[in-house]
A and B are shown apart, each in its own frame.
Chain A
Amino acid sequence: MSLEVELSNWSYVAMLLFVIVGSWWLEFAFKLRVLRRPRILVTAIVPVSIFFLMWDAFAINQNHWTFDSEQILGIFGPLNIPLEEYLFFLIIPMAAVLTLEGVKVVMEKVKR
């Protein structure tokens, strides 16, 4: 096992950064109150994420999918799930909530 991290090891992280960049601006552009209410956000996301992470753990265990060790950082959390997967189950739900709240603001503006 190599301890050296090469650029290719950031491939999965790059996708997560893309989602962050693509969604967090909504908070500021539409004056949403999603990211600035972290407690509500966490209580909404965590139970759902745990449910889907259980599935991920099962799928990894069953070899439904595997991760290319050269394209992830190689840091693993509980249940043998890569760090990137844990982040995925936080970042994607946040993007979904931001989108929903953005849509609500726009719909409200259109109605007026």
Chain B
Amino acid sequence: MRFELSYTQITVYALIITIFFDMFVTKNSLLSTLRFWLSYAIIVPFQLITNWWLTSREIVVYNPDAIIGIRLAGAPIEDLIFGFAMILAVMSMWETMLRRHGGSSSVG
């Protein structure tokens, strides 16, 4: 049996799971903070550069059947959503671990 799920579908699920994780599991709600969006604004251009490198040089080649077909800087739009979800998940986890083990953050 083949379990069919396109890259597009997986990115949407991952995004939903990650937002749920940030809001209800770690309860950090980073999406409502300025620090998250400022960080994301810095990261996005770099993500576009690295995506562009990987896709334009065809280091990674995407199956046209698995993606919706919208591309940004050479890379499928799904990559951007994927990156967003991963960044949100990691930052949310980091802030929780920091509280639990580290006490203060870098600030102060």
Q: Do the beta carbons of A93 and B60 come within 8 Å of each other? A: no
CA distance A41 to B78 in the complex (A): 27
A-B CB contacts (within 8 Å), total count: 133
Number of interface residues of A (CB under 8 A): 49
Asked if A33 meets B106 with Cβ closer than 8 Å, knowing A64-B62, A95-B43, the reply is yes
Tell me whether chain B's interface is mostly helix, strand or loop, or mixed: helix
Interface SS majority for chain A = helix
Query: Is B36's CB under 8 angstroms from A100's CB?
Result: yes
Kindly state the interface size class of chain B when it binds its partner: 35 or more
Chain A interface residues toward B at CB < 8 A: 11-12, 14-15, 18-19, 22, 30-34, 37, 39-41, 43-45, 47-48, 51-52, 55, 58-59, 62-68, 71-72, 92-93, 95-97, 99-105, 107-108
